[in-house]
Amino acid sequence: MTTERFDETHMAAAIELAWGGLGRVEPNPMVGCLLVRDGRVIGRGYHEVYGQGHAEVNALADCAEAGQDPRGATAYVTLEPCCHQGKTPPCADALIAAGITRVVVAVVDPFEQVAGGGIERLRSAGIEVVTGVAVDAATEQLAAYLKRVRTGRPWVIAKWAMSIDGRIATASGQSQWITGASARREVHALRGRVDAIAVGMGTVVADDPLLTARPSGPRTLHRIIFAQTRVPALDRQLIQTATESPVWLIAGPQLSEADLRPLIDQGVDIVRCESVDPAAMIDEGLQRLGSKENPAGQPLTNLMIEGGGKLLGSFAAAGQIDECHVYIGGKLIGGQSAPGPVGDPGFAELTQSPSFQINQIDSFDNDVRIVYRRQN
């Protein structure tokens, strides 16, 4: 086996390890690490929980527990080792102290406190560093983190359930349930691993959603309402449970302090936007959510949009849908006035429309889920 193929094989294993941190490490990235010496894996680790040991440190600990000496080993890391003191010490220093002689990296970290600094520190210590191994697969895995670091905005997942003929409700507004119980359990699993779920006022009025994950996931789930010109009634489930699980209202400039005060009194946090245009308001809201200037005090990495059509239309117009989870139930609804998933303003020309590629297809009983990712 060539060195190049050997590196790719072990990096693929490190990428697979990294998935163990999904939904548990954000706003940090998922990272996996493999330690290999004389062709044999002597340590495995991944970033398991936000604020705790990174992948490299966990791999070294695994190595020690197995009674193995990491000196002279190669470390395969899916993201450049950090070189700054955060909630944990620098991983580059840990690799140097352990006597690692070669480090293979998939993706160079664009985070401003790293950005090549980890690689430079390793090389300054006389360690051979190779970058770009299995970079496409690792970049796909790290897509949400990379978008937030590079653009300051969270990764946006648009989710909807529709009939075979593309309707999300009947003409009279009935939508429960287009898909079956198994598909709905998968939706709750997705809710459990994202930072936030957002809906528009139309969905709040029509469906009175609770927007919780059942069972709850490892993260604090922030429930977000985009409100341009009207606010929820105080009897809505989201408002009634705001003190139990965070509810944020992304408020347009047309809403007054008098409109918002009753919601604040119920425990709702307000994120003010200055933009009147819906697409511009979406972009402004995402900038706030992706920064520390939000009620949580730390950036959100993943945001799921659950409706309705008007909100999805505004996100599409703003160019801020990164991934679509489309659930197709085995029903025909029909009717010219039955709504589709994405509303106005739409795109007048196909050349203006964003393109997505199939990332994954799953089936649940009589339903199908297709996951699309936006093409760059």
Domain endpoint, select from 102, 117, 148: 148
Name the domain boundary from 121, 148, 175: 148
pLDDT for residue 364:
92
Q: Are 312 and 359 members of one domain?
A: yes
Domain shared by 282 and 310, yes or no: yes
As a whole number of angstroms, the distance between CA 185 and CA 208 comes to 19
Residue 22 annotated as binding? no
Tokens at residue 47, please? Answer: 């970033």
Residues 299 and 337 in one domain: yes
The reported pTM is 0.91
Q: For the residues of 110-138, what is the DSSP string, one character each? A: --TTTTTHHHHHHHHTT-EEEE-TTHHHH
Residue 230: pLDDT band (50, 70, 90) is very high
**Mean pLDDT for the stretch of residues 324-329:** 95
Last residue in a domain, options 122, 148, 174 = 148
Q: Is there a binding annotation on residue 116? A: no
Q: How many domains does the chain have?
A: 2
Query: How confident is residue 241, by pLDDT bands cut at 50, 70 and 90?
Result: very high
For residues 45 and 59, state if they share a domain. yes
Average pLDDT over residues 7-30: 95
72 and 201 both lie in a single domain: no
CATH number at 11 reads: 3.40.140.10
Share of the chain above pLDDT 70, in %: 99
Same domain, 117 and 255: no
Q: Is 82 annotated as a binding residue?
A: yes
**Angstrom distance (rounded) from CA 272 to CA 227:** 10
Strands (E), the chain: 32-37, 40-46, 74-79, 102-107, 128-131, 155-162, 196-200, 222-227, 247-251, 269-272, 302-305, 323-328, 356-364, 367-374
**308 annotated as ligand-binding:** yes
Say whether both 51 and 160 belong to one domain.
no
Residues 223 and 357 in one domain: yes
Q: What is the model's pLDDT at position 206?
A: 86
Helix axes 55-65, 91-98, angle to 10 degrees: 30
> Which CATH number belongs to the domain containing residue 160 in this structure?
3.40.430.10
Q: Tell me which of 4, 16, 48, 56 is the catalytic residue.
A: 56
For the segment 78-83, the average pLDDT, to the nearest whole number, is 93
Q: Is 80 a catalytic residue?
A: no
Is 124 annotated to bind ligand?
no
The string of pLDDT tens digits covering residues 244-261 is 999 999 999 999 999 999
Q: If pLDDT is split at 50, 70 and 90, which confidence band does 87 have?
A: low
Q: Tell me the residue range of the domain where 275 lies.
A: 153-374
For residues 33-57, average pLDDT: 94
